Structure 1
Amino acid sequence: MTPKPARSVRSLQKGQHTRAVILEAALGLASHMGLEGLSIGALADVTKMSKSGVFAHFGSREELQIAVVMEYHAKFEEEVFFNAIREPRGLPRLRALYERWVRRVSLELDSGCIYISGAVEFDDRTGPVRDALVAMVRAWHAALHKAIVLAQKAGHLHADADVEQILFELHGLILSLHHDARFLRNPGALARAGLGFERAVQSYATPEGLAADARARQAAAKKRR
């Protein structure tokens, strides 16, 4: 294979860097204004670039919106999923997934969750942007679903527990947290989200699961000291 000229490599790297800068700015705009608030013009103003310069990296507003959805999902995975799966399978991992999810939502209270705002914007629409949003949320739900199933297999959750119901309840807690903390500005929302998880654990966990969860929490507390 013939190596690419150094100039071509530098040009490619510069283009990738510029695209990353634009995408980061777009993500910030979308967090505050929603995906529908994104436009090539608004992004050009924020990045101090020409519209044609932005357009060269994202050929359409729709392509830009989809790229933002993908970028948001990548960051979400990095902050929530990849850190949580380092925990032992079972209830400790499920707790880590939920608590990191709550932490992510708490950090987004001044901006917004694209998963949640996007669902409001695109719930009654069709098209590639909605499809991208649905795919990313379903991917996250699939990860949670797997964590719940693994917790059952580990004997940490009752074998007859309804996996879909547990997933529904956890997601419902997050939606309530976002609504009460961001919209109502209720200072007790985070505590209630934590209490909701503890009640779910008490409802669905086995004695073995509760013991494993307690050991994991004690180990985590020692690490923080």
Structure 2
Amino acid sequence: MTRLIVTALVLFPAACLAQASLDQPEKLTVTPSEADGWIPLFNGKDLTGWKASEHPDTFSVEDGSIVTDGDRAHLFYTGDVNGGQFDDFELWVEVMTEPNSNGGVFFHTEYQEEGWPAKGYEVQVNQTYQDRRKTGSLYGVVDILDESPVEDNQWYVEHVKVEGDRVVIRVDGEVTVDYTEPENVEREGRMAERKLGKGTFALQGHDPGSTVRYRQVWVKPLD
């Protein structure tokens, strides 16, 4: 894991990265509970509170999990929790991939009918798909290259904390990204709207060859 983190850090100026001495989110070793301020976004039964784009048939619910298997589509949270809008938060998602599968978890995004979500950031889901950017990456911004910290066919946890201008991503409790967005950051092209702000979450169905399962989707608003 140490080697993976170093690989990501050398790609970006030190000024863009948070200092290790700052408060770190606690390592979560059990499923969050409502008693601790966590709120479930997925009921484990159907897609109530979620809206799919482009190809809704890509998403189904099987054995308590949201399954992606089909043409490109994204499943956006449109439910009532926090009015469907999140600024500072912690997000907990259990994920499992089949071999050669790609997916992602978006935050600070918004519903769009087609295409890759233009707004917000993506937390990568990819163990063995051909894309070099692997699970735990802040896609296109801080990338974990070539080697995933977890394996296919195994459940793991992506835990994302956004507070102010700082994003911390953990995979099974271990930090893969600790990124502070520069003030007045500017990006071009497809990445132009990869900025912190406010928005909802989305789960990605990447392509017909990718099968990814998401379960235990919890949020803890911090704003």
Higher strand share: 2
Shorter-chain TM range is: under 0.3
Higher helix share: 1
- Tell me which structure has the larger Cα radius of gyration: 1
Q: TM-score, normalised by structure 2?
A: 0.23
